[in-house]
Amino acid sequence: MKNIFLLIAICCTLGLAAQPATGFQGTTTDTKSKVKDPNRSYNQNYMVKNNEAFYKFGEDSLYKHIYTQLYTTPEFLANSKDGHVLISFEVNFDTKIINSAIIEGMGNDVDVAVKRIITGIKDFVPAQQNGIDYRSEIIMDIPIKAR
Name the pTM for this structure.
0.62
pLDDT of residue 4: 65
Other Cβ atoms within 10 Å of 105 Cβ, number: 18
Nearest to 127 by CA among 61, 51, 46: 51
pLDDT of residue 107: 77
pLDDT of residue 112: 87
For the chain, the first-to-last Cα distance in angstroms comes to 89
pLDDT of residue 138: 92
Name the architecture of domain 52-144.
2-Layer Sandwich (3.30)
Domain boundaries, the chain: 52-144
Residues 6+ apart with CB under 8 A from 141: 84, 85, 86
pLDDT of residue 137: 93
Mean pLDDT, contiguous 10-residue spans, the chain (147 residues): 61 53 56 62 72 90 90 76 90 89 86 90 88 90 84
Q: What helix, strand, coil percent values describe the chain, rounded to 5?
A: 35, 25, 40
136 forms beta bridges with 91
